[in-house]
């Protein structure tokens, strides 16, 4: 190894069109601009088939992106796994599905999850297939607790998905059956917290879905329309609601019922899973809860057994970059704030908690603030930068990685000024890391896991609106090495080509199952 290597992941920073909706270009980013003007670089595909998703219409996300970055391979991911298992019937043949359906006799089967076809956390078509199969197998009562998206799909598209679901429920509501939407709320308000950043969100979801507490409406559509008129919020931020009949909730989740969390992505599924699963749960008071038969679409963390029951096995990723580096005795350091800490550790290591070698790896988590990201767009970029520079100065590590979440987390708010500020904070961090690289003798690689901040608006039918979802744009891959010029080979590359490149630059041999190196 000629020099130790630093990898900077600018989360949610792709190559946009350079227009007024491209916050990456609109921001003042002199360091990133200089690197792109003077350093070897290329652009990587970060969505669709390049990261194991079903088609190139599917936007990438941080989880599959970090899987690909850290594993050097492309694995079939959540949406594709679920779709295949539904199509071939394997899901319905699982012992977990059979037990859930059998348990629902005389009780109810509940479905909780994100209601959209964004294919990032869930897919409404999976929910519809499960509902139809439940009806075919004799389930009389099935209730949907819907989380509104507006983040991986257009910002105010919830009514379209609710309408689609209501049409299906109407078909299934034959005599003696009750299939209905029971509760819901915006994904950034209830249930779908991650990394234990805000347990209050999960508690609010529990009160809404399980206990039927909250403002009542005659339908989900009425709730959405009323909240929009009152608050002006986009879908992801709409408050919780309970659907009622005759002044009472359509359905609470009662002790002994069957419950399926139909999200396939793990990060925002773990906390609500723990609330249902764990007897020693102490994050909030669950009331008179004694237990249900609960299952996730996948097991969201195998090492921590979250949840205990699940419909499908997640991909088991082996031969990760961390395994290769540990086998070679390379010391590693990884850091981010809470919002993306799991991405540079758990997802990076192939959906695996813990470390490969305690003696060789150091991970640091900087607690994220519980505050709307548009109000503090710098997030913890300063603290991440300081940790990175300290790690470089220590000269203890030969491979150092970090994630700056700003482009993604602030990007999802849709607030352009805040996203621009967030990007400028990332650039300031990048500048300090480049300076430290010169001082302490590091090669710096700069990339991203998917796009977001690069496409903050979209135009449809002549109307331009705020975009809060990820983009389908490629992401940069830059090599900064003061003292040596690297050449990136011609070719079409994706995120999975990064790990092989790191290994090649270190003079190590990559596993045969990996993609090719770019140098």
Q: Report the predicted TM-score, pTM, of the whole model to 2 decimal places.
A: 0.76
Q: At what angle do helices 158-172 and 124-136 cross, to 10 degrees?
A: 10
Question: Quick one: pLDDT at residue 99?
Answer: 98
Question: Quick one: pLDDT at residue 302?
Answer: 63
Specify the CATH superfamily of domain 5-77+318-505. Answer: Alkaline Phosphatase, subunit A (3.40.720.10)
Question: Quick one: pLDDT at residue 299?
Answer: 86
| End-to-end Cα separation, the chain, in angstroms | 14
DSSP bridge partners of 259: 110, 294
For residue 386, CA distances in Å to 33, 364, 382, 416, 451 come to 22, 12, 6, 27, 25
Transcribe 425-438 into DSSP letters.
Answer: HHHHHHHHHHHHHH
Please check whether residue 228 is in contact with residue 238, taking contact to mean a CB–CB distance below 8 angstroms.
yes
Q: Which helix (H) or strand (E) holds 255?
A: none
**With helix as H, strand as E and coil as C, how does 190-213 read?**
CCCCCCCCCHHHHHHHHHHHCCCC
Please check whether residue 384 is in contact with residue 366, taking contact to mean a CB–CB distance below 8 angstroms.
yes
Residue range(s) occupied by CATH 3.40.1450.10 in the chain: 79-312
Residues with a catalytic annotation lie at 62
Contacts of 378 by beta carbon, 8 Å cutoff, 6+ apart: 406, 421, 422, 425
Contacts of 282 by beta carbon, 8 Å cutoff, 6+ apart: none
Question: Quick one: pLDDT at residue 189?
Answer: 97
**Could you tell me how many residues make up the chain?**
519
Find out if CATH 3.20.20.120 is the number for domain 79-312. no
Which has the closest alpha carbon to 45: 34, 30, 56?
56
> What does the pLDDT profile of the chain (519 residues) look like in tens digits?
789 999 999 999 999 999 999 999 999 999 999 999 999 999 999 999 999 887 888 889 898 999 999 999 998 887 888 998 999 999 999 999 999 999 999 999 999 999 999 998 999 999 999 999 999 999 999 999 999 999 999 999 999 999 999 999 999 999 899 999 999 999 999 999 987 889 999 999 999 999 999 999 999 999 999 999 999 999 999 999 999 999 999 999 999 999 999 999 888 999 999 999 999 999 999 999 999 999 999 988 765 789 999 999 767 799 999 999 999 999 999 999 999 999 999 999 998 889 999 999 999 999 999 999 999 999 999 999 999 999 999 999 999 999 999 999 999 999 999 999 999 999 999 999 999 999 999 999 999 999 999 999 988 778 888 998 899 999 999 999 998 999 999 999 999 999 999 999 999 999 999 999 999
Q: Which residue has the tokens 């991650």?
A: 194
Alpha-carbon torsion, ordered 348, 353, 359, 360, to 10 deg: 0
Q: At what angle do helices 270-277 and 199-209 cross, to 10 degrees?
A: 60
Question: Quick one: pLDDT at residue 314?
Answer: 64
Residue range(s) occupied by CATH 3.40.720.10 in the chain: 5-77+318-505
Largest CA distance in the chain: 77
Q: Which residue has the tokens 């002790």?
A: 255
Here the tokens at position 488 are 């990136």
Please check whether residue 478 is in contact with residue 447, taking contact to mean a CB–CB distance below 8 angstroms.
yes
Here the tokens at position 262 are 């139909």
Distance of CA 399 to the CA centre of its chain: 25
**Dist CA 387 CA 366 (whole Å):** 9
Transcribe 412-426 into DSSP letters.
Answer: GGT-HHHHHHHHHHH
pLDDT for 138-150, tens place per residue?
A: 999 999 999 999 9
DSSP bridge partners of 516: none
Which has the closest alpha carbon to 240: 206, 267, 263?
206
Q: Is 456 helix (H, G, I), strand (E, B) or coil?
A: coil
**String of b and e for 291-309 (b: at least 16 CB within 10 Å)?**
ebbbbbbbbbbbeeebbeb
For residue 482, CA distances in Å to 35, 121, 177, 214 come to 11, 41, 70, 59
**Dist CA 502 CA 485 (whole Å):** 15
Please check whether residue 21 is in contact with residue 467, taking contact to mean a CB–CB distance below 8 angstroms.
yes
**Dist CA 118 CA 121 (whole Å):** 7
**Dist CA 111 CA 474 (whole Å):** 35
Contacts of 430 by beta carbon, 8 Å cutoff, 6+ apart: 8, 10, 31, 32, 35, 404, 446
Here the tokens at position 243 are 């659907």
Q: Which residue has the tokens 């700003």?
A: 406
Please check whether residue 63 is in contact with residue 347, taking contact to mean a CB–CB distance below 8 angstroms.
yes
For residue 232, CA distances in Å to 5, 213, 229, 257 come to 46, 23, 6, 36
**String of b and e for 196-217 (b: at least 16 CB within 10 Å)?**
ebbbebbbbbbbbbbbbbbebb
């Amino acid at each position: 190894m000629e020099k130790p290597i630093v990898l900077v992941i600018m989360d949610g920073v792709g190559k946009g069109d350079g227009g007024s909706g491209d916050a990456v270009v609109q921001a003042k980013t002199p360091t990133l601009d200089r690197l792109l003007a003077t350093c070897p670089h290329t652009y990587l595909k970060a969505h669709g088939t390049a990261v194991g998703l079903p088609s190139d219409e599917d936007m990438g996300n941080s989880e599959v992106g970090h899987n690909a970055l850290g594993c050097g391979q492309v694995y079939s991911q959540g949406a594709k796994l679920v779709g295949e298992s539904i199509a071939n019937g394997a899901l319905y043949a699982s012992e977990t599905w059979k037990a859930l359906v059998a348990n629902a006799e005389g009780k109810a089967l509940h479905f909780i999850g994100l209601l959209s076809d964004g294919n990032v956390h869930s897919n409404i078509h999976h929910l519809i297939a499960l509902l139809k199969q439940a009806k075919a197998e004799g389930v009389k009562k099935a209730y949907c607790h819907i989380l509104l998206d507006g983040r991986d799909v257009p910002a105010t598209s919830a009514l379209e998905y609710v309408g689609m679901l209501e049409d299906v429920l109407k078909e299934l509501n034959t005599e003696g059956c009750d299939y209905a939407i029971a509760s819901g709320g915006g994904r950034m308000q209830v249930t779908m917290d991650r990394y234990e950043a805000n347990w209050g969100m999960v508690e609010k979801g529990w009160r809404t879905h399980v206990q039927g507490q909250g403002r009542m409406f005659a339908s989900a559509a009425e709730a959405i329309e009323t909240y929009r008129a009152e608050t002006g919020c986009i879908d992801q931020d709409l408050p919780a609601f309970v659907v009622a009949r005759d002044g009472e909730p359509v359905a609470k989740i009662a002790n002994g019922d069957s419950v399926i969390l139909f999200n396939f992505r793990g990060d925002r599924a773990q906390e609500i899973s723990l609330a249902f699963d764990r007897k020693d749960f102490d994050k909030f008071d669950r009331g008179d809860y004694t237990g249900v038969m609960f299952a996730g679409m996948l097991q969201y963390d195998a090492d921590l057994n979250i949840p205990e029951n699940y419909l499908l096995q997640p991909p088991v990723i082996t031969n990760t970059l961390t395994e290769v580096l540990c086998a070679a005795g390379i010391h590693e350091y990884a850091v981010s704030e809470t919002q993306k800490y799991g991405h540079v550790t758990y997802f990076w290591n192939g959906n695996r908690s813990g470390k490969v070698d305690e003696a060789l790896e150091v991970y640091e988590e900087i607690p994220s603030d519980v505050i709307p990201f548009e109000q503090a767009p710098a997030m913890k970029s300063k603290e991440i930068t300081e940790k990175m520079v300290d790690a470089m100065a220590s000269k203890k590590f030969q491979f150092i990685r970090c994630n700056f979440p700003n482009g993604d987390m602030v990007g999802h708010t849709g607030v352009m000024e805040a996203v621009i500020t967030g990007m400028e904070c990332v650039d300031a961090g990048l500048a300090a890391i480049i300076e430290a690289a010169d001082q302490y003798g590091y090669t710096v690689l700069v990339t991203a896991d998917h796009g977001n901040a690069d496409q903050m608006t979209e135009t449809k039918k002549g109307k331009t609106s705020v975009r809060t979802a990820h983009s389908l744009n490629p992401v940069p891959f830059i090599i900064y090495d003061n003292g040596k010029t690297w050449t990136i080979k011609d070719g079409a590359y994706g995120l999975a080509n990064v790990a092989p490149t790191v290994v090649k630059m270190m003079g190590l041999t990559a596993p045969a199952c990996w993609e090719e190196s770019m140098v």
